[in-house]
A and B are shown apart, each in its own frame.
Chain A
């Protein structure tokens, strides 16, 4: 395996694992706001690493820029939607919740 291939495999696996960490954060974190933190930041880095890995074996400049453009678009999309959902959550007075506490008044909706 060449050095390039090793770097590429590292970036791909690391990127995919970052996505998993984002999803794990979405499950583990205590309230809506912290979940937004976990998802936007982890997914942004995960996609960035995968895009970097794919750029390494692209031959045209235009295609490399296109991959970067897609990453930039997803970056703006996740930051913007994270902000919008946090804003509406605040507007709805969704309470803050620390680790260990359960989200009260809501568990009944599930069961």
Chain B
């Protein structure tokens, strides 16, 4: 048991997780100062437990890349909503229901983020992982959404400081 604690525990990761947990507590309690009597011990205990259950991940987050990814995501999800409105309100219902495959080198957390965010971007919905990559449902012909997916994949690779995926 001590071995496991020693493997996951580094002072820096403990401090980072405590700070993030503290931020969440501050937000949820709406800045109520008296709530820290319960909040501080909970945050510290949770950080300790989380390090044992989820050891620090090997990914190096690139702050600028993450910020650019967030900006791109917000803009693209706005476009996605407008795109849905355009299709829904059109009398002819210009919708094409089809499946396509997308090969990707992403794994683990970046792949998870890729699948989740793609579902909120225009015309794409992740269905499942396959041997080589992903099975995706799209509202348009597959060749139209392929460049969008490549752009999203690049943004995620940069946010996690991964090397550019070979395409």
Contacts and interface: CB of A to CB of B under 8 A. Distances in A.
Contacts, number: 116
A66 B31 CA distance: 10
A50 B75 CA distance: 16
A30 B93 CA distance: 9
B85 A42 contact: yes
Nearest to B26: A62
Contact of B120 (A18, A22, A31, A44): A44
Contacts of B122: 41
Q: How large is the interface on A (under 10, 10 to 19, 20 to 34, 35 or more residues)?
A: 35 or more
Nearest to B86: A21
B144 interface: no
Given A62-B27, A90-B127, A83 B84 contact: no
A96 B136 CA distance: 13
A91 B26 CA distance: 42
Interface string B20-37: 000010111111000000
Interface residues of B, number: 39
A87 B31 CA distance: 40
A28 B81 CA distance: 16
A34 B88 CA distance: 11
B127 A75 contact: no
Interface string A48-89: 100000000000111101100100000110111011001100
Interface of B: 24, 26-31, 77-78, 80-85, 87-89, 92-93, 95-99, 115-117, 119-120, 122-123, 125-128, 135, 137, 139
Interface of A: 18, 21-22, 24-25, 28-31, 33-34, 36-38, 40-42, 44-46, 48, 60-63, 65-66, 69, 75-76, 78-80, 82-83, 86-87, 90-91, 96-99
